Every structure is written in C-alpha cells, then in structure tokens.
Structure 1
Amino acid sequence: MVNNIIGNFFMRRLPALRRERELTRKEIAKGVGVTLGKYDKWEAGKVLPKSEDIARLARFYELSVDAFLGLTAEESEAIHQRLLEDAEKLPPQARKLVLEAMQSESHH
C-alpha cells in the first residue's frame, strides 16, 4: 500500500519536474547517473528510487530533498525526526551517510 502511494507520487512528480525544466528523460538519467531504463521505471512507478537516488535527483534539479519532494515544513520536521531515530539502528557507515545527507540538507 505504502509503495503504491509512493510510486504514484513519483509517477506525478518526476514527469512534472521534467516538463517544467523542458528536459528529456535521457538528459535526466545521464545527469543523475542512472540508465534510461531505470529512470523510466521510476516515472512509471514500477521501481521506487532509493534514498541516494532521491538525493541525486534533488541535486540534479538544484533543490533540497525536501523541496524536491514538495514537503511542508511540518512534514519535513517529522520525517527528519524519524530519520534520526531510524539512523540510530543502522550500521555505522550507513548511519554516517544518512546523517551527512541530513546535515547538507539543513544548509539549503
């Protein structure tokens, strides 16, 4: 259920951003560093982008992750709180990646 909701979100959000910027799917895939096939699966909602893919997409569009996802300040704060809680349960290297991403996020 949750994956369907998230998949539907990316099916709307990715094409909308692409059209807004007048870019091709191929240009975005190349800019993000993924294959066109993988990007197409994201737009089709067949595969969900991983956290690092979302970060690369946001960077490609020169947006914070929160802005890329269209989050309100309240939604962002709630998600950041959950990420911090979840990060405590991760192996050290994974925890470091999450915390670094959140740190760079707060500087935008």
Structure 2
Amino acid sequence: MVNKILISFFVRRLPEIRRSKGVTRKEIAKGVGITLGKYDKWEAGKVLPKSEDIARIASFYEMSVDEFLGLTEEESEAIKQKLIEDAERLSPEARKIVVDAMTDKQA
C-alpha cells in the first residue's frame, strides 16, 4: 500500500517539477548522474528513487528535499528521522548526500 502511494506521488511530482522548470528528462538524468532509462522508470512508476536520488534531484533543482517533496514541517521532521535511520545503512558517499541535503534545509 505504501509503495503504491509513493509511486503515485513520484509519477505525479517528478514530471510536474521537471516541466515547471523547463527541463527535459535527459537533462535531469544527466544532472542527477543517472541514466535516462532509470529516470524514465521513476516517472513511469516502475521504480522508486532512493533517498540519495531524491536528495540529488532536489539539489539539481536548487530546492531543499522538503520543498521538492512539498512537505509540511511536521511531515518533514518525521521523514528526517526516518532518513537518519536509513542513512546509517548507506555507503559513506550516499550517506553524505542525504546528510548534506538535510543540512541545506536547516540553513
């Protein structure tokens, strides 16, 4: 159930922001450092972006992760706690991306 909700969110949100910024799928994929095929899977709802991918997308658009996701303060805090827990299992590079994205929001 949760995955269906998340997939629905990203299927709607990714193209919405991309179009509002006037960016092509190819440009966002290159800017985020992924293949066009991977990005297309996100927009089509075939695969969910990982935490570090979401941080990279937000950074590409010069947005905080919260702004990118359209979160309220309460939602943001709950997700921040989950990201901190999840980040412990990531590679050092991926963990840094997530932590940096969270730090940018607080600055």
Task: State the TM-score, normalizing by the size of structure 1.
Answer: 0.82
> Using CA pairs below 8 Å that are at least 6 residues apart, which structure has the higher relative contact order?
2
Matched with 2:67 is 67
Give secondary structure in 2 for the equivalent of 1:49: coil
Question: Residue 89 of structure 1: CA displacement?
Answer: 6.6
**1:50 and 2:50 equivalent?**
yes
Gaps of 5+ in 2: none
1:1-108 matches, within 5 Å, as: 1-84=1-84, 86=85, 90=89, 93=92, 97=96, 98-107=98-107
Structure 2 distance, partners of 1:44, 1:34, is 16
CA RMSD of aligned residues (A): 2.5
Higher-Rg member (1/2):
1
Gaps of 5+ in 1: none
Contact 2:65/2:101 (CA < 8 Å) preserved in 1? no
What is the number of residues matched between the two proteins? 106
Give secondary structure in 2 for the equivalent of 1:80: helix
